[in-house]
Amino acid sequence: MAQRAAIGIGLAAAAALALAACQTVPEGPAGAPPPARPVTPTPQPPSAESEAARAYYAQVERTLLAQGLLRGEGGGPDTPFTAEQLAANFMRIALFDELVETGGSYVARQTASELRRWAVPVRIEPVFGATVPAARRMADASTLEAYARRLARVTGHPVRTVPGGGNFPVLFLSEDERRDPGAIMRAYAPAISDTAIRTVATMPRDVFCIVFAISDGRTPDYRQALAVIRAEHPDALRRACIHEEVAQALGLPNDSPAARPSIFNDDEEFGLLTTHDEYLLNILYDPRLKPGMRAAEARPIVEAIARELIGGES
């Protein structure tokens, strides 16, 4: 419901772009049965357009890695941060939205918001378009499974992968499937908005992946999410999309240029969840914080938790 969209948009050939936002739209009729989900498609050969996209993203990945970006470790001596910095980063990432919906599209506008997180267990369901080979499906499902276990440990909240019936489908779609995504998006998230569908259908090629976290419109609790990841991505971009979009949909909708080491930073220095980001998730799901809190109420609690996690040292 109403819908709040955390939109991870990333990476151009020479530079990187990442956006996050929250949006509210009406949910579908209460109690309405969801539409039947599509049968898992038999793998099909990719189109020429999809092959061209695959070549493009392979070059993008090579460029980013050559620039020292998409780092895979959790940070090190070159990326120190204090408890004060951690708390400030949390306030900016968890309690601000980066995009708002205006005129049927998303517009970049930093907006103070409220704390949001999941109220129900998160069941991540991998969903693959017809051009995704069987071996790739198995690898992506394994990556999601391992990541879900890590997120469950870090947050203390139930997070796992499921083969069907999930409330957080992660769609791996090729260029052909993404250009007309309404049926599959609504099959897995009936409350998804027309704006969200248009956004996916018209994603420019420097937008790598996107996620929408959804509440019922009456509370700040998330109950469903849907992510779309381009099926043409090579390994590092694929993992980066999985890490950022899934973590973002847990309740971290914004980015901050001050956050380091972090995937919640537009510079794309880090491609995988870092130690700093694990602390953000620790704070987000600490029971002392309550969904719906605004910055003034949350700040002293966040600062206290940050000091407990890493102490007050520099």
The mean pLDDT values, 10 residues at a time, for the chain of 314 residues are 37 29 32 53 83 97 97 92 97 89 79 94 96 94 98 98 96 94 94 92 93 85 96 97 96 94 94 97 98 97 97 53
Local structure of residue 216 (DSSP, 8 states):
-
| Residue 214 near residue 226, CB atoms below 8 Å | yes
**H or E, element range at 283:** helix 275-284
**CB within 8 Å of 250: residues ≥ 6 apart:** 117, 118, 122, 151, 155, 157, 159, 213, 222, 281, 284, 285
Burial (CB < 10 A; 0-12, 13-18, 19+), residue 150, is middle
**pTM (two decimals):** 0.88
**CB within 8 Å of 63: residues ≥ 6 apart:** 13, 14
User: What is the pLDDT at residue 265?
Assistant: 92
**H or E, element range at 307:** helix 295-310
User: What is the pLDDT at residue 309?
Assistant: 96
Nearest Cα to Cα of residue 233 among 28, 64, 91: 64
Q: Identify the bridge partners of residue 1 per DSSP, sorted by sequence position.
A: none
Dihedral angle computed from the Cα positions of residues 140, 143, 144 and 149, in that order, rounded to the nearest 10 degrees: 160
Compute the radius of gyration of the chain from its Cα atoms: 18
Amino acid (1-letter code) at residue 186: R
User: What is the pLDDT at residue 41?
Assistant: 65
For 296, the 3-state DSSP assignment is helix
Domain ranges of the chain: 2-24+49-118+181-195+206-222+231-310
Distance CA 307, CA 66 (A): 36
Distances (CA, A) of 196 to 59, 96, 102, 214: 28, 20, 12, 11
In the block, residue with structure tokens 């419901």: 1
